[in-house]
């Protein structure tokens, strides 16, 4: 069930972001599979940081590969794929606790949101850095 | 040669247009800087100094012969996300790097890409689908999802009609959350079998800047620290305004 709604959620966001019809299926499948990676790694690992990192890194790698095949910016595949991971609800609950003055809940939700956001951003930046290095290595002989 | 240098201000102006258009389509700061650097070099600049932050673009081009040319651009609208536009601008800049266009022609192309806004059917369908999906994702039932989808239409209408009236996104989020919250609260009052919290979280997913916050941290990690901090603070304030609006609605309905 979660996988299906992850798929339709990603699809919804792809439509919201005005993605062309062509890449939409690939981007929505990315959302489902990266959520699958998250669920699977939650099974084997403790906490949320490492699973989120892995799922985001997977989504980034998936996007980077598709981007090269289709000669399009990687973001258009990455953003929908990572949507199910985005800590939208915990960000909301963090701020809700702040508004209510419930500082204990604010702390725990805030820490959760920060972990998700950091892990997702780190997963993506990790792949970004690897791709950068790979590109530099690939272009070195012709560049000299 | 001299004539050649005279064309650079017009070219630089179009590069500014391109950068602004990319920002408005939701491109990352890092990508915009990279694109503008490449394009400037393709047009024959000896060196490009490009600084892009979410609220401004600054470029100094070093022309052949050592003369320097600077333009700046203030960016006021934060812009949404439009991947079709982003793809077209990306294709245009790739093509332009390979075969630089005249400044006029480049300007025309940029304007023709930016002319068409978000198509309404996609925007509405996307919002409805997203709200419904997330209501189910967070444990609501099908009835809750249906109501969340109905309120997604309201959120879309507010985004279209209310945004131009609001001075900024904090005010918009506050008002939109208040109105949506009141609507959902009223619906739950009429039909107590609904789960108000699940419906709200589905519709909140349309407004919550979760992606913006994650992107802001990504910006900082890849080295665009100023842009990242600006966006992080903005998205936290936007989220706080949302929470405040919904809380006010719950309080009004409950009390």
pLDDT the model gives residue B196: 81
Is residue A140's pLDDT more than 80?
Answer: no
User: Does B170 lie in the same domain as B208?
Assistant: yes
User: Does B74 lie in the same domain as B139?
Assistant: no
Radius of gyration of chain A (CA): 17
Residue among B192, B231, B138 at smallest CA distance from A117: B231
Residue among B113, B105, B68, B112 at smallest CA distance from B88: B113
pLDDT the model gives residue B76: 83
pLDDT the model gives residue A144: 39
Asked whether the beta carbons of B27 and B200 are under 8 A apart, the reply is no
CA distance B114 to chain A (A): 13
Residues within 8 A of B (CB atoms), A 111-140 only: 113, 116-118, 120-122, 124-125, 128
Contacts of A120 in chain B (CB under 8 A): 214, 217-218
User: Does B156 lie in the same domain as B103?
Assistant: no
Which percentage of chain A shows pLDDT scores above 90? 21
Query: What does the pLDDT average to over A124-139?
Result: 87
Q: Which residue of A has its CA nearest to B135?
A: A5
User: Does B136 lie in the same domain as B249?
Assistant: yes
pLDDT the model gives residue B57: 94
- Residue-wise pLDDT for B184-240, tens only, equals 988 888 888 888 888 888 888 888 888 888 888 888 988 889 989 998 999 889 988
User: Does B106 lie in the same domain as B150?
Assistant: no
User: Does B140 lie in the same domain as B250?
Assistant: yes
- In degrees, rounded to 5, the angle at the alpha carbon of residue B13 between the alpha carbons of residues B218 and B5 is 120
Q: Please report, in tens digits, the pLDDT of each residue of chain B (255 residues total).
A: 344 678 889 999 999 999 999 998 888 898 899 999 999 999 989 999 999 998 899 999 999 888 999 999 998 876 678 888 888 999 999 999 998 888 888 999 988 888 776 677 888 888 898 888 888 888 888 888 889 998 999 998 898 888 888 888 899 999 999 999 999 988 888 888 888 888 888 888 888 888 888 888 888 988 889 989 998 999 889 988 988 898 888 888 874
Residues 6+ apart with CB under 8 A from B87: A20, A72, A73, A76
Contacts of B84 in chain A (CB under 8 A): 18-20
What's chain A's average pLDDT?
Answer: 85
CA distance B3 to chain A (A): 31
User: Does B238 lie in the same domain as B139?
Assistant: yes
Structural domain tally of chain A? 1
pLDDT the model gives residue A60: 92
User: Does B175 lie in the same domain as B80?
Assistant: no
Is residue A61's pLDDT more than 60?
Answer: yes
User: Does B79 lie in the same domain as B33?
Assistant: yes
Domain boundary among B54, B81, B115: B115
H or E stretch at A87: none
User: Does B100 lie in the same domain as B150?
Assistant: no
Task: Print the domain residue range for A65.
Answer: 2-143
B211–A86 C-beta distance less than 8 A: yes
pLDDT the model gives residue A90: 85
CA distance A125 to A119: 10
Query: What one-character-per-residue DSSP string does B86-107 give?
Result: HHHHHHHHHHHHHSPPPHHHHH
CB atoms within 10 A of CB B100: 15
User: Does B85 lie in the same domain as B31?
Assistant: yes
Task: Print the domain residue range for B11.
Answer: 2-115
CA distances from B228 to A11, B66, B137, B212, B234 (A): 27, 33, 29, 10, 10
Residue among A141, A55, A60, A76 at smallest CA distance from B22: A76
SS3 category, B200 = helix
User: Does B136 lie in the same domain as B47?
Assistant: no
Domain boundary among B81, B115, B149: B115
Cβ–Cβ pairs < 8 A, chains A and B: 152
Domain boundary among B115, B150, B171: B115
CA distances from A82 to A9, A63, A75, A139, B10 (A): 10, 10, 10, 30, 39
Structural domain tally of chain B? 2
Q: In this predicted model, which residue has the larger pLDDT, A123 or A16?
A: A123
CA distance B92 to B88: 6
Query: What does the pLDDT average to over A111-117?
Result: 89
Contacts of A13 in chain B (CB under 8 A): 126, 130
**E-only strand ranges, chain B:** 47-53, 56-62, 68-74
ipTM of the complex: 0.81
């Amino acid at each position: 069930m979660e996988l299906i709604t992850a798929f339709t959620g990603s699809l919804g966001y792809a439509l919201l972001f005005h993605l062309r019809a062509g890449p939409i299926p690939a981007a929505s499948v990315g959302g489902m599979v990266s959520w699958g990676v998250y669920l699977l790694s939650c099974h084997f690992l403790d906490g949320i940081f490492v699973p989120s990192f892995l799922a985001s890194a997977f989504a980034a790698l998936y996007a980077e590969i598709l981007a090269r095949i289709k000669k399009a910016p990687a973001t258009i595949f990455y953003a929908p794929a990572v949507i199910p991971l985005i800590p939208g609800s915990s960000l909301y609950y963090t701020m809700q606790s702040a508004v209510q003055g419930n500082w204990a809940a604010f702390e725990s939700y805030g820490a959760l949101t920060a972990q998700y956001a950091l892990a997702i951003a780190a997963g993506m930046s990790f792949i970004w850095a690897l791709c950068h290095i790979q590109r530099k290595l690939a272009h070195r002989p012709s560049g000299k | 040669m001299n004539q050649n240098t005279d064309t650079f201000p017009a070219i630089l102006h179009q590069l500014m247009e391109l950068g602004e258009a990319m920002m408005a389509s939701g491109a990352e700061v890092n990508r915009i800087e990279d694109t503008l650097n490449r394009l400037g070099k393709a047009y024959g600049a000896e060196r490009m100094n490009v600084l892009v932050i979410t609220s401004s673009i600054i470029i100094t081009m070093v022309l052949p012969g050592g003369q320097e040319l600077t333009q700046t651009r203030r960016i006021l609208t934060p812009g949404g996300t439009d991947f079709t536009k982003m793809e077209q601008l990306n294709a245009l800049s790739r093509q332009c790097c390979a075969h630089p266009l005249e400044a006029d022609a480049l300007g025309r192309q940029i304007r023709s890409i930016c002319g068409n806004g978000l198509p309404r059917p996609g925007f509405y369908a996307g919002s409805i689908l997203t709200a419904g999906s997330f209501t189910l994702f967070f444990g609501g039932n099908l009835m809750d999802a249906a109501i969340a989808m109905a309120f997604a239409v309201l959120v879309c209408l507010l985004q279209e009609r209310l945004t131009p009236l609001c001075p900024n996104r904090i005010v918009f989020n506050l008002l939109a959350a208040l109105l949506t919250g009141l609507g959902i609260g009223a619906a739950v009052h009429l039909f107590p079998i609904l789960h108000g919290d699940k419906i709200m979280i589905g519709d909140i997913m349309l407004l919550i800047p979760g992606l913006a916050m994650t992107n802001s941290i990504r910006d900082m990690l890849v080295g665009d620290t100023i842009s990242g901090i600006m966006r992080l603070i903005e998205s936290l304030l936007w989220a706080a305004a949302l929470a405040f609006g919904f809380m006010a609605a719950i309080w009004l309905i409950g009390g």
